[in-house]
Chains A and B, each alone.
Chain A
């Protein structure tokens, strides 16, 4: 019996709207179709109306989990454009926050993977420990989600000796716990039975479909911007590129836990070797005409921002390529020939951040599938007309 099941746009496994149409034969998936565009926010257009400084806070709001990644990627591009060189201390603090963010993102992902596999205890434990790193981030920046620590030419807040000690203490605790989770994630039989051999993506496929981040690394592709094209402080740090050869969801779990341990190493190095000096240099109000591309290894993979300046105090164009977008083609391959039960796990294994990746919207007629281009004013007029003609709903009745 072959039929199509819709996963999304609203589904308990998805926290964000995306539509996965699965053609299934019994429990086995035979065809996959991904539809995007449910959460277009017009960020790029908005960026053209805001100044260079204002855009830091806009790009920070592209994502709730890797907020610092987008802000840093944007700031890197603008600094390239303005030919600014931030002081060492500022850079160290900026990338210290980057690594802390990677830790919180990976811990969050571990919990989500546990939840998708029905392993709620794992979820509760990892999220409990994620609070440690969230508290550290709050201590450094004053915020838990949108740290707002970046500014063009450096960072906005310094850290003192007491904070350094607290960071080292928190990281020591987290390292101990992460090693424990590594033991559980790689050994608990029912969990491993769910994730081993699921969502296979061979090395060749990963390369040809341009997979990024932990998904590519779990397929044995040593691809990491921090190693390949070390930006800012990464050439001074001692860390290893984590890969796995199993090409499945288990490999993605292993890669992320290994990266956690590498991040702890980097955080300790950065805190211990924090140079003295200023944390920021003054940035000009306008940028020279030109364009810049910036690459940044976000927790989910390579993040790319392209900025074009016409010499004004606003960018002429900002283009954001979030890592999730790079992983969609690979996801389709991974889902094929899997079980229905594996859909949430495989999809969650790319650590999707759907509204970060939404850059366009297509209007499709539900009846005949025709695509059309419509002005905003026309959309608005249609929505109003529809609301006016909608039938009046009955009120709910109290049953007793």
Chain B
């Protein structure tokens, strides 16, 4: 029975099937918001309101010819998309929406899971770099170098801003952090600055405008994905969709008071809050133009990192005040 339960947990809810459906829905939502902000319609054709468009895109890509460059490192090139998908799906299991017991830490919710989550969210970036490097194309190589350069910029502000609410809540466990803020919602206001910094850093992590530098089509064609096609590209796109869900879930858990109210109400909280975060991300995407990679670094270290430090200071002072 336990085996069956675990299997269902991994494959159906909240495993790969649910993640697939929900992340494609989020992609549709993101595309629709982005399109409406640009005075366009967005997807309308496939399914009701174009809801099935991302799924149709996925299956279309799955059926397309899959080309591996002669000069590529074949093993790495083929394995990386699957590894990337596995990594972000694992990260999704750690969200405190499903299968956690506040009193009893288990293997999906334990002290320090916020660190594991951040680590698992960093891995796709490295995988992306390796994918770019192993495909050996000129444009991919430049894209890969840009991925890593950007990583050195946004990663520190993201960590600082996500960990300072944890500091205030005095816990490294997502479920406990969320429970702490559910008890004292007023303290969420102390983390607004950190939320904004984390929002920008997540935008950079997801490589969306203004940080879509590694795959800037007008500069370096497909960037990191130049040589990827067919199934592998489909998996990479799915990876990014799921990463969007996970990252917005993380922000919601840490900054927006988590998902209280048990399985059903908690799930509704999850949907509303992730969609809210994705809405903000779409707004940033619609309102800015792509900046240069050196400007990303400057922005990260001159603006985001100091702001994140201020947030950290606020958390520490507040913690002293409260105790």
Contacts and interface: CB of A to CB of B under 8 A. Distances in A.
A341 B216 contact: yes
B289 A188 contact: yes
Contact of B289 (A194, A339, A396): A194
Task: Please list the 10 inter-chain residue pairs (A to B) with the smallest Cβ-Cβ separation, ordered nearest first.
Answer: A118-B290, A119-B289, A124-B38, A13-B218, A190-B288, A344-B218, A191-B289, A117-B289, A12-B217, A341-B292
A340 B142 contact: yes
Given A117-B289, A190-B289, A193-B291, A396 B65 contact: yes
A344 to B, nearest CB: 4
A341 B39 contact: no
Nearest to A347: B218
Nearest to A122: B289
Interface string A196-232: 0000000000000000000000000000000000000
B37 interface: yes
B286 A121 contact: yes
B10 interface: no
B141 to A, nearest CB: 9
A128 B63 contact: no
Interface string A105-136: 00000000011111111101100100000000
A186 B197 CA distance: 25
Contacts of A391: none
Contact of B292 (A3, A339, A396): A339
A341 B289 CA distance: 12
B261 to A, nearest CB: 37
Contact of B39 (A114, A128, A193): A128
Most buried by A among B37, B63, B210, B221: B210
Contacts, number: 82
B291 A190 contact: yes
Interface in B44-95: 63, 65-66
Given A3-B138, A11-B221, A114 B38 contact: no
Contacts of A369: none
Interface string A18-39: 0000000001000000000000
A400 B63 CA distance: 8
Interface of A: 3, 5-6, 11-13, 27, 114-122, 124-125, 128, 188, 190-191, 193-194, 339-344, 396, 399-400
Contacts of B101: none
Contacts of A193: 291-292, 295
A352 to B, nearest CB: 14
B155 to A, nearest CB: 20
Contact of B212 (A118, A396, A400): A118
Given A13-B218, A119-B290, 10 more contacts: A12-B217, A116-B218, A118-B289, A121-B286, A124-B39, A188-B287, A339-B294, A341-B216, A341-B293, A399-B63
Contact of B38 (A11, A125, A342): A125
B170 interface: no
B5 interface: no
User: Size class of B's contact patch?
Assistant: 20 to 34
Interface in B84-112: none
B209 interface: yes
24 contacts: A5-B139, A5-B142, A12-B221, A13-B218, A27-B294, A117-B290, A118-B210, A118-B212, A118-B218, A118-B289, A118-B290, A121-B37, A124-B40, A190-B210, A190-B290, A191-B288, A191-B289, A194-B292, A339-B292, A341-B219, A341-B290, A342-B292, A344-B218, A396-B65
A125 B40 CA distance: 9
Contact of B219 (A188, A191, A340, A400): A340
Contacts of B218: 12-13, 115-116, 118, 344
Contacts of B294: 27, 339
A170 B130 CA distance: 53
B149 to A, nearest CB: 9
A343 B65 contact: no
Contacts of A27: 142, 293-294
Contact of B288 (A6, A115, A119, A125): A119
Contacts of B39: 124-125, 128
A121 B37 CA distance: 8
Contacts of A339: 292, 294
A124 B40 CA distance: 8
B213 interface: yes
B220 interface: yes
Nearest to B38: A124
A12 B221 CA distance: 6
Interface in B239-293: 286-293
Contacts of A399: 63, 65-66
Nearest to B221: A12
Contacts of A342: 292
Nearest to B288: A190
B222 to A, nearest CB: 8
Nearest to B66: A399
Nearest to A13: B218
A400 B212 CA distance: 34
B219 A121 contact: no
B210 A120 contact: no
